[in-house]
Amino acid sequence: MSKSMENLVKEISGLTVLELAELTKALETAFGVSAAMPMAAAMPASEAPAAAGKKEEEKTEFKVELVDAGANKINVIKALRQVKKDLGLTEAKKMAEETPCVIAEAVSKDEAKAMQKTLEDAGAKVKLS
């Protein structure tokens, strides 16, 4: 660094914060630039693609898991047979008694929410993941 630059840095380092703010505004006006960092440059390059990817990745498939059948297992068994039409009475009873168990995998959000509501209305505890 040249001697004149060193003197300039020494002068600037002696200024107060208020004086530095005024100097910044004067330099921005004189040269038609901004001291503010652009938003894209503010984020490190390694984080930029990751942040963009998170917004695009919305979960589309859910797993419905029966956590607890609750006190009224008969209603839960009926609800299980209602949400899974292919379940027989014995299979539904086994699912209600052997919790936690997976009821459905890779179902849409709407379908998972509907299953959850039906089972919870019957008294069961359900987890979506």
Task: State yes or no: pLDDT of 53 exceeds 60.
Answer: no
For residue 36, what is the DSSP state? S
Residues 78-112, buried b or exposed e (16+ Cβ, 10 A)? ebbbebeeebeeeebbebbeebeeebbeebeeeeb
Instruction: Look at the alpha carbons of 106, 108, 109, 114 in this order and tell me if their dihedral is positive or negative.
Output: negative
Q: What is the CA radius of gyration of the chain?
A: 31
pLDDT for 78: 92
The full length of the chain comes to 129
Query: Is 102's pLDDT higher than 70?
Result: yes
- What does the domain layout of the chain look like in residue ranges? 3-53, 62-128
**What's the whole-model pTM score?**
0.54
CATH architecture of 62-128: 2-Layer Sandwich (3.30)
If you average pLDDT over residues 57-72, what whole number do you get?
A: 86
